[in-house]
Structure 1
Amino acid sequence: MVRKILFAIVAVLIIIQFIKPDKNIHAGEQVNNIKTQYKMLDTVNSILNVACYDCHSNNTRYPWYNNIQPTAWWLNDHVIEGKEHFNFDEFTTYSLKRQDHKLEELIESQEEGWMPLSSYTFIHKDANLNGSQKKMVIDWAKGLRQQIQSNPEFAASPAK
Structure 2
Amino acid sequence: MKKKILTGLLIFVLLFGFIQFFRPEKNWQINVSRNEIFYKKAADPRIVTLLKTSCYDCHSNNTAYPWYNNIAPVSWMISNHIREGKDELNFSNWDLYVPETQHKLLKKIIEEVEEDKMPLGSYLIIHADAKLSDADKELLKFWATDKMVEIENSTK
Of 25, 32, 49 in structure 2, the residue corresponding to residue 46 of structure 1 is: 49
RMSD: 1.1
Of 95, 103, 108 in structure 2, the residue corresponding to residue 105 of structure 1 is: 108
Identity of aligned residues (%): 37
Of 105, 124, 128 in structure 2, the residue corresponding to residue 121 of structure 1 is: 124
The alignment status of 1:25 with 2:18, answered yes or no, reads: no
Point out where structure 1 has 5 or more consecutive residues left out of the alignment: 154-160
8 Å CA contact 1:25, 1:60 repeated in 2: yes
Residue type of the alignment partner of 2:134: G
Q: How many residues align?
A: 153
> CA shift at 1:2, angstroms?
2.9
Give the structure 2 partner of residue 157 of structure 1.
Answer: none
> CA shift at 1:38, angstroms?
4.0
> CA shift at 1:5, angstroms?
2.0
Give the structure 1 partner of residue 92 of structure 2.
Answer: 89
CA distance in 1, matches of 2:113, 2:42: 20
Point out where structure 2 has 5 or more consecutive residues left out of the alignment: none
The alignment status of 1:12 with 2:24, answered yes or no, reads: no
> CA shift at 1:34, angstroms?
0.8
Give the structure 1 partner of residue 73 of structure 2.
Answer: 70
Could you list the structure 1 runs, at least 4 aligned residues long, displaced by more than 6 angstroms after superposition: none
Structure with greater proportional helix content? 2
Give the structure 2 partner of residue 133 of structure 1.
Answer: 136
> CA shift at 1:121, angstroms?
0.6
8 Å CA contact 1:37, 1:92 repeated in 2: no
